[in-house]
Amino acid sequence: MMNQQAKYSQNTRREFISDLGHGFTGIALASLLGTAAEASDTVRLPHVSPKAKSVIWFFMNGGTSHLESFDPKPALNKYAGKTIDESPYKKQVLDSPFYRKNVRDFSGVPRDLMPKLYPLQVGYRKRGQSGIEVSDWFPHVGSCIDDIAVVRSMWTTDNDHAAQLQFHTGRHIFDGFYPSIGSWVHYGLGSLNENLPQFVVMGTPPGDCCGGVGAHDGSYLGPEHSGVRMTINPNNPLVFGSPGNKVSRKERRDQLDLLRGLNELTAIKYPDDANLRARIKSHELAFRMQMSVPNVVDLSQETQATRDLYGLDETATGGFGQQALVARRLVEQGVRFVQIYDNGWDAHSKLKDSHSKTCKRVDKPIAGLLKDLKQRGLLDETLVVWATEFGRTPGAERSDGRDHHPYGFSVWLAGGGIKGGIVHGATDELGFHAVENRHYVTDVHATILHQCGLDSRKLEIPGQKRLDIDHGSPIKDIIA
């Protein structure tokens, strides 16, 4: 009875405050949100001097073959058709402690995993002054290799496509959902432009099987730190964000004013509702974005030279090229993190046919972005990351494909204080294991945060204990 009376008394006081009038409610709400903002400001200043203001994150869903992209292995051609047992690398690969521990313990896969070696499906050559070997399917990115640091020694633990979630959050899907790397950057640094979302997501995100929106979700950081979905359609660039063609700017402003008033009243009654606070902020942000975002995705004023650089007028590259160009325009306007997904890399069969098409789709636009950022003086302050969930097996699957391969694969980084023209880490001669300077996926996260001036251990959230592996370690050898 006493608890009920206390609860009734508390609600009555809140309702009384609300009844004093909209003005007083607005003051109270401003105080509420102001307090939250002041608390977050303590983590929104960089911990160290940043080298990057923004991040553009390309992620290839499905698993790009490291062997036909940035870690070619001529031994696969020499011993094609032979089993790993029959190659000179049997002891190095099959009898290694890492193989026995990880391949058998992580997934229970037998030792004859895809045993017949599958030759490279494309040629490769040394590129740039650095002479780094790059697949012939990436000639345009290869032309930028002197600005790129290739990390050939990545590993992860999920042998299925939930590795997409794992790469973005650092955690296996069985562990639950944790903040994504884009959300940590957003949480740690805050906004450079109040009229645009600070964490933008383009392309098709992972399906529910593979983490879904968890790959760009704020999790316990709060929904306000989740990625905002955007399309390249200038008529409706924000998913579910269009006010409608017949709604004027004044009408939309009036609608939001009414909605804000109702939300303010509710916020006084439920001051601890984080979702409500995020919703109030998001409605205001939505209005500002509805006015600003269409201009960002309107590419009509770009020069023909820029359109050619990104391949906008070519069938194969046009769609992805638009996303890459919008990414440049977003970071140019102060957006912190742009995450672009690309699908179609799961080459269990017909690898040559599928990878030749997917590589062509992204190669010119990504290289165009690097060159465009560089010529505009933006590459030094923009960190570009190209990643994928895992690599592909050295052995053949279904005679003309490669299976998932989490034990060794490649990513690359450029700009934002990263050394160019270097290779860090290595896999063995068959591309099976990461054997030199091995890096779990959160080392990429730690590198991004470090370049943005953030220390993940200073971004602690009360009641949320993280494991040491969640933090990772910056890859110091690639940092300028």
Q: What's the pLDDT score for residue 244?
A: 54
Q: What's the pLDDT score for residue 34?
A: 40
Amino acid at 275: N
* CATH class of the domain defined by 56-234+298-478: alpha beta
For residue 167, count CB atoms less than 10 angstroms from its CB and return exposed for 0-12, middle for 13-18, buried for 19 or more.
Answer: buried
CA dist., res. 426 & res. 204, Å (int): 31
CA dist., res. 55 & res. 172, Å (int): 24
CA dist., res. 65 & res. 124, Å (int): 13
Q: What is the pTM of this model?
A: 0.83
Encode burial over 210-231: b for 16+ CB neighbours within 10 A, e otherwise: bbebbbbbbbebbbbbbbbbbb
CA dist., res. 84 & res. 73, Å (int): 14
Per-residue pLDDT of the chain (480 residues; tens, 9 = 90+): 444 444 434 444 444 434 433 343 343 334 333 433 433 444 466 777 899 999 999 999 999 999 999 999 999 999 999 988 889 988 877 666 556 555 544 444 444 467 799 999 999 999 999 999 999 999 999 999 999 999 999 999 999 999 999 999 999 999 999 999 999 999 999 888 888 889 999 999 999 889 999 999 999 999 889 999 999 887 778 765 555 555 565 675 676 677 667 777 776 777 777 776 666 666 666 667 777 788 899 999 999 999 999 999 999 999 999 999 999 999 999 999 999 999 999 999 999 999 999 999 999 999 999 999 999 999 999 999 999 999 999 999 989 999 999 999 999 999 999 999 999 999 999 999 999 999 999 999 999 999 999 999 999 888 998 999 999 999 999 999
Q: What's the pLDDT score for residue 286?
A: 67
Q: What's the pLDDT score for residue 276?
A: 66
Q: What's the pLDDT score for residue 307?
A: 98
User: What are phi and psi for residue 155, nearest 5 degrees?
Assistant: -150, 155
CA triple 63-67-69, angle to 5 deg: 75
Intervals of CATH 3.40.720.10 along the chain: 56-234+298-478
Q: What's the pLDDT score for residue 241?
A: 56
CA dist., res. 161 & res. 178, Å (int): 17
CA dist., res. 121 & res. 400, Å (int): 9
Q: Is the dihedral of CA 425, 428, 432, 434 positive or negative?
A: negative
Q: Are strands 404-405 and 391-392 parallel, antiparallel or unpaired?
A: antiparallel
The interaxial angle of helices 249-269 and 2-19, nearest 10 deg, is 150
Size of the chain in residues: 480
CA dist., res. 134 & res. 123, Å (int): 9
C-alpha R_g of the chain: 25
Q: Are strands 426-427 and 434-436 parallel, antiparallel or unpaired?
A: antiparallel
Euclidean distance between the first and final Cα of the chain, in Å? 66
